[in-house]
Homo-oligomer: A and B are copies of this chain.
Amino acid sequence: MRKKISSSRTPGRPAASEERGARELLLNAATELFAVQGVAGTTFAMIAKRAGLTPAMLHYYFRDRNELLDVVVEERLLLLITRVWAKVEADADPAETVRGIVQRLLDGIEAMPWVPSAWMREILNEGGLLRERIVRRLPYAKVRLLGESLAQGQAKGTVNRDVDPLLAVFSVIGMVMLHMATIRFWSEAFDRQPPSRPQVERHIVGLVLNGLQGSAPARAKHKKR
State A166–B190 Cα separation when bound (angstroms).
9
Contact with B along A214-225 (1 / 0, CB 8 A): 010001000101
Protomer copies: 2
In the complex, whether A202 has a CB less than 8 A from a CB of chain B is yes
- Whether the pair B126, A163 counts as a contact (CB closer than 8 A) is no
Contact with B along A153-178 (1 / 0, CB 8 A): 00000001111101110110011001
A residues near B (Cβ < 8 Å) are: 35-38, 40-41, 117, 120-121, 124-127, 135, 138, 140, 143-144, 160-164, 166-168, 170-171, 174-175, 178-179, 181-182, 185-186, 189-190, 192, 195, 199-200, 202-213, 215, 219, 223, 225
A164-B195, A164-B199, A181-B124 as given contacts; A186 in contact with B207, CB under 8 Å:
no
